[in-house]
C-alpha cells in the first residue's frame, strides 16, 4: 500500500463502484435481454423486427458510442423537455449504456438457447398433458438455461471489464480513480499495475462463481 502513496483506499472505493456498476448493468441488461429475446421470437413481424433491430444496432456499434449516446443524448433530451440544462448522473448513464449493450448480447444468447431445445421436447410435454406455459417452465427453460449459462457468464465477465469505459464521462469507478491517482503521483505504471491486479481479482472471483454455477446446473443431467 505504501507504493500507492496513500491512494490505495481511493482505488478500493473505485473498485466498489465498479462492482456496483457491473451488478446494476447486469440486472438491467438481463431484463432487456429477456424482452429482446421475446420480441425476436414473436410470431408478429413488427415486434420481431424491433427485437432484431435492437440487437443489430447495439451490437454493431462500439460500446463507447453507446455511452456517449446515453450521456450526451440524455442530457439533450432532458434539456429539450425542461428548457434548461440538466446534468446527467454519470453512474446512472453508465448503468443504462452498459445495460443496453449487455441486453443486446443477452437477447441473442437467450434466443439461441431457446431455439436449441428440440421441438420434440415441447411435443412430448403436450403429449403428457402439460399446457404451453407448463411445458415452457418445466421442460424448455431448464434446458435452455443450461445451454445459455456459459456464454451468459462469459458475457457478464466481459461486462465487468467494460465498466472501465464509463470513466470517460466522469464516473468515479476504478479506472477513473487510477487516472486521478496517476496524475497526482506521476507514477502511472504503478497505479495502473495495481488496477490490473484488482481487475484480475474481480474477474477471478467471477470466473470461480461461474464455474460453481455450471457444476450446480450440470448435476441433474449427470444423474
How many domains in the chain? 1
Decide if 195 is inside a domain.
no
pLDDT in tens, the chain (223 residues): 556 777 788 999 999 999 999 999 999 999 999 999 999 999 899 999 999 999 999 999 999 999 999 999 988 888 888 888 888 899 999 999 999 999 999 999 999 998 888 877 777 777 777 776 777 777 788 888 888 999 999 999 999 999 999 999 989 999 999 999 888 888 889 899 999 999 999 999 999 999 998 888 776 544 4
Decide if 108 is inside a domain.
yes
Q: How far is CA 92 from CA 71, 83, 100, 116, in A?
A: 9, 21, 12, 35
Q: Which residue range is the domain that position 68 belongs to?
A: 15-174
Decide if 223 is inside a domain.
no
pTM above 0.85, yes or no: yes
Decide if 194 is inside a domain.
no
- Give the separation between CA 37 and CA 83, rounded to whole angstroms: 37
CATH of the domain at 103: 1.10.3720.10
Decide if 28 is inside a domain.
yes
Amino acid at each position: 500500500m505504501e507504493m500507492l502513496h496513500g491512494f490505495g483506499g481511493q482505488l478500493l472505493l473505485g473498485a466498489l463502484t465498479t462492482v456496483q456498476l457491473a451488478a446494476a448493468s447486469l440486472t438491467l441488461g438481463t431484463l432487456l435481454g429477456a424482452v429482446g429475446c421475446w420480441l425476436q421470437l414473436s410470431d408478429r413481424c413488427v415486434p420481431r423486427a424491433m427485437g432484431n433491430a435492437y440487437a443489430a444496432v447495439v451490437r454493431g456499434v462500439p460500446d463507447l458510442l453507446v455511452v456517449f449516446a446515453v450521456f450526451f443524448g440524455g442530457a439533450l433530451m432532458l434539456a429539450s423537455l425542461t428548457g434548461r440544462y440538466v446534468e446527467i448522473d454519470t453512474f446512472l448513464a453508465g448503468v443504462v449504456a452498459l445495460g443496453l449493450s449487455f441486453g443486446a448480447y443477452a437477447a441473442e444468447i437467450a434466443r439461441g438457447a431457446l431455439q436449441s431445445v428440440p421441438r420434440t421436447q415441447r411435443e412430448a410435454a403436450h403429449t403428457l398433458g402439460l399446457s404451453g406455459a407448463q411445458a415452457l417452465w418445466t421442460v424448455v427453460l431448464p434446458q435452455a438455461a443450461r445451454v445459455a449459462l456459459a456464454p451468459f457468464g462469459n458475457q457478464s465477465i466481459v461486462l465487468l471489464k467494460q465498466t472501465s469505459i464509463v470513466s470517460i464521462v466522469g464516473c468515479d469507478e476504478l479506472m477513473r480513480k487510477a487516472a486521478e491517482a496517476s496524475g497526482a503521483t506521476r507514477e502511472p505504471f504503478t497505479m495502473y499495475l495495481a488496477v490490473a491486479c484488482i481487475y484480475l481479482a474481480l474477474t477471478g472471483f467471477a470466473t470461480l462463481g461461474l464455474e460453481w454455477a455450471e457444476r450446480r446446473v450440470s448435476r441433474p443431467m449427470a444423474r
